[in-house]
Amino acid sequence: MRDASSPPTKVLMVEDNPGDARLVQLLLAEVGGFEITWKQDLREAAEWLREHVPDAVLLDLSLPDSHGVATIDAMRRVAPDLPVIVFTGLNDEAVGVAAVKRGCQDYLVKGQGDGQLIARTITYAVERKAIERERQQAAERMKRVLLQTVKAVSLTLEMRDPYTAGHQRRVAQLAQAIGERMGLDADRLEGLHTGALIHDLGKINVPSDFLSRPGKLSDAAFGVIKSHPNVGAEIVDGVDFPWPIARMIREHHERLDGSGYPAGLRGEEIILEARILAVADVVEAISSHRPYRPSLGLDAALKEIQDRAGTAYDPAVVDACLAVIRDNGNAVFRDDYDLPPVM
Ligand SMILES: [Fe+2]
């Protein structure tokens, strides 16, 4: 299980009964490889944990200053990342099972088993917790890589097309701020932010001079531009995103009254994320400089969404957007805008 050269496993034992504490110390000393710190109540243990990081905690649930499952919750608040093994009396094995359900790694019944069993229980708990941590780190790394990849794709599009330089990033920031204001949960906000970063992906299929040409476009040219929501959605259709990214892209030019494209969807037929994107997109587009015209200003952008709230745009989204702009102004578009942490 362990070789002699490895450092001892550091265990914090929280136990008010000196007899029980001594017995465990003795049994583990016989097995070897453990360094035990003994504290008699929760307050003392919490104080010690401020300065020290053990490998595991052995926790008696009946302490002078805490009792039952409340002891587990208190310990997990103090040391959320440590494996906790609960000590239970002979008659409360059910409490041990409940403890595991509450996130403890394992439980030991007092008076049952020898030093080997206690040692094994601690060692396995430490190993399991380490595996859990590695899994979590791997999942977080995958999420980071996904976001970086989406950002790279977003930048690729913007590099060939001055029209969209920075547009998707700014729309993503505003859309996320609107979504947050509307009370979307963290996972949905993350999806919204991700979808917004590539909402114009389909413009890769549109000749760049169509996008930056001043004045009125021919019907044919406008037809090509109008294909971009479908083209973008088709590109990401094969990507197994954990959010409805393809729908966000496909529906971001749909309008509440059915006047949008490509499908002329109405009202709640349009996914909420796309209704948010529609507002963020138009506010950003009107208030930014374009190669063929100067910025029309934020006021013009807000007037557009207010005038068409309920016809083109979802009024709840418009209200949230107005609140965001009222509180942040242009800062919401800046590079250093402080996005709520979604990753
Ligand atoms: Fe678009």
Ligand 1 center–CA 64 separation, angstroms: 64
Q: How many angstroms from the chain centroid is the CA of residue 285?
A: 28
What separation in Å is there between the alpha carbon of 251 and the centre of ligand 1? 9
Tell me, in angstroms, the distance from the centre of ligand 1 to residue 51's CA: 54
Whether 29 has a pLDDT exceeding 90, the answer reads yes
* Domains observed in the chain: 9-134 (3.40.50.2300), 161-333 (1.10.3210.10)
The encoded tokens of residue 18 equal 């000196």
CA of 298 to the centre of ligand 1 (A): 19
**CA 203 / ligand 1 centre spacing (Å):** 8
Average pLDDT of the residues of the chain: 90
**What are the structure tokens assigned to 302, written together?**
């807000």
Q: Using the mean position of ligand 1's atoms as its centre, give its distance from the Cα of residue 143 in Å.
A: 25
Query: pTM for the complete prediction?
Result: 0.75
Q: Are 143 and 172 a contacting pair, CB within 8 Å?
A: no
HEC string of the chain equals: CCCCCCCCEEEEEECCCHHHHHHHHHHHHHHCCEEEEEECCHHHHHHHHHHCCCCEEEEECEECCEECHHHHHHHHHHCCCCCEEEEECCCCHHHHHHHHHCCCCEEEECCCCCHHHHHHHHHHHHHHHHHHHHHHHHHHHHHHHHHHHHHHHHHHHHHHCHHHCCHHHHHHHHHHHHHHHCCCCHHHHHHHHHHHHCCCHHHHHCCHHHHHCCCCCCHHHHHHHHCHHHHHHHHHHCCCCCCCHHHHHHCCCCCCECCCCCCCCEHHHCCHHHHHHHHHHHHHHHHCCECCECCCCHHHHHHHHHHCECCCECHHHHHHHHHHHHHHHHHHHCCCCCCCCCC
**CB contact at 8 A, 110 and 88:** yes
101 carries an active-site annotation: no
pLDDT of 5 higher than 80: no
CA–centroid distance, 93 to ligand 1, in Å, is 60
Give percent above pLDDT 90 in the chain: 64
The pLDDT score that the predictor gives to residue 297 is 82
Residue 4: what pLDDT? 64
Band (pLDDT 50/70/90 cuts) for residue 343 is very low
- The residue annotated as part of the active site, out of 203, 216, 226, 303, is 203
- CA 63 to ligand 1 centroid distance, Å: 62
Highest mean pLDDT among 160-164, 253-257, 325-329: 253-257
15, 113, 115: which is closest to 60 by C-alpha?
A: 15
pLDDT tens digits, 67-107: 888 899 999 999 988 999 998 876 777 888 888 888 888 98
User: What is the residue whose two structure tokens read 């979307």?
Assistant: 184
End-to-end CA gap in the chain: 37
Pair of tokens at residue 190? 């993350």
Both tokens assigned to 286:
């009107």
